[in-house]
């Protein structure tokens, strides 16, 4: 039996309770793993096959998710309201120990992260690295995230940074607002200051980069100038390193998917046992 495609153009706006547009909200057609971002004013438009797609999921950082039944949606423009959802963090109280505040590093410092390759992804994809904290440090809070953007693609493309709690997978997000940044040029480290958010480090954190469409980012699929076999990627390209040694620390999420998987399969045979991970590290402050 052959199903007949029934395409429909979904147009509308995602707002908060005060009717302000929510940028970077995601409208996802769950059955097709297809989705789109809202623009800076919360507007969106995309086409889906309604003979397959029965549910739209609408979500954004800092807001509760909504599930919409396609058959019940009006034929004209959609107005979707999201309700703020607070992110509960562990209480962080900085107390003086020996009268000094110190700084530590999650992951390896940039001096140890040799650039050996590129990490190509598509809009909607996300890549997270698991960074363990040292023991014996008290009241540690995240200070800054550093991401190396290579010269491939369009280095000045905007990207979004996420922070997740320590665990087996990056499932519970700590960042509750959009953290959108860009490099000024390729071959540079981008510093993202998160000290004002008072994010507790604990045993460690997952830190991720998400490739995002809109906000002036090119919609044209790109061809690598370094590798003729790589085509169809978007925007900025992260650097890849073997500087994290004999561990596969990185998880990837395909565009508009909630499932995480290893970026570099830990069962793979690597020369010297050194795995590929993105060039990302963090700094944090603590009292000792």
pLDDT attached to residue 277: 95
What was the pLDDT predicted at 32? 75
The 10 Å CB-count burial string (b at 16+, else e) for 101-128 is eeebbbbbebeebeeebbbbbebbbbbb
- Give the pLDDT of residue 98: 55
pLDDT at 94: 44
Return all residues near 53 (Cβ < 8 A) that are at least 6 apart.
Answer: 29, 30, 31, 32, 34, 70
pLDDT at 99: 55
Token digits for 283?
Answer: 């700094």
pLDDT at 2: 45
- The answer to whether 239 touches 117, Cβ cutoff 8 Å, is yes
pLDDT for position 271: 79
- Average pLDDT along the chain, 288 residues, taken 10 residues at a time: 69 94 88 81 88 90 90 91 73 51 90 94 94 80 97 94 94 88 96 94 95 82 91 95 91 87 87 91 88
Closest CA to 226 of 112, 114, 120: 120
């Amino acid at each position: 039996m052959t199903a007949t495609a029934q395409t429909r153009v979904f147009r509308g706006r995602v707002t908060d309770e005060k009717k302000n547009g929510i940028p970077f909200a995601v409208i996802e057609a769950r059955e097709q793993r297809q989705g789109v971002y809202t623009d800076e004013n919360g507007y969106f438009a995309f086409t889906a096959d309604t003979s397959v797609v029965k549910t739209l999921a609408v979500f954004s950082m800092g807001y509760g998710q909504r599930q919409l039944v396609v058959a019940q949606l009006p034929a004209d423009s959609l107005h979707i309201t999201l309700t703020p959802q607070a992110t509960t963090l562990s209480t962080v109280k900085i107390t003086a120990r020996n009268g000094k505040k110190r700084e530590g590093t999650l992951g390896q410092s940039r001096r140890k992260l040799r650039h050996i390759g590129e990490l190509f992804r598509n809009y909607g994809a996300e890549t997270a690295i698991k960074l363990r904290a040292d023991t014996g440090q008290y009241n540690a809070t995240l200070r800054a995230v550093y991401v190396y953007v290579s010269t491939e693609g369009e280095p000045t493309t905007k990207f979004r940074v996420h922070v997740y709690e320590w665990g087996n997978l990056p499932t519970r997000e700590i960042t509750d607002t959009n953290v959108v940044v860009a490099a000024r040029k390729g071959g540079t480290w981008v510093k993202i200051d998160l000290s004002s958010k008072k994010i507790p480090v604990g045993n460690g954190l997952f830190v991720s980069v998400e490739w995002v469409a809109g906000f002036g980012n090119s919609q044209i699929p790109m061809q690598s100038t370094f590798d003729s076999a790589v085509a169809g990627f978007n925007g900025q390209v992260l650097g890849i390193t073997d500087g994290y040694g004999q561990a596969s620390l990185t998880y990837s999420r395909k565009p508009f998917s909630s499932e995480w998987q290893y970026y570099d399969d830990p069962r793979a045979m690597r020369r010297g046992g050194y795995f590929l991970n993105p060039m990302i590290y963090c700094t944090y402050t603590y009292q000792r």
